[in-house]
Amino acid sequence: MKKTPDINPESQDIAELQAMVKALMSEKKEWQQERQSLIEQFKLALDRQFAKRSEALKPYNEAQG
């Protein structure tokens, strides 16, 4: 993640404020993508851990009864 530039909410410079908004929107998008990636990884881990598995049936052995 990129470091957010220093934000001076007291600034009156339109260009500076626009640059801050653009930087914050970019950072928000990166966080959302990271969050979505982590959610997907979590879902895959849950599926691996708890999903139903096909358990092969062992052939019946008459000797075991």
Higher pLDDT, 12 or 41: 41
Count of residues in the chain: 65
pLDDT in tens, 33-52: 999 999 999 999 999 988 87
In terms of pTM, does the model score above 0.75?
no
- Asked if 3 and 26 touch (Cβ cutoff 8 Å), the reply is no
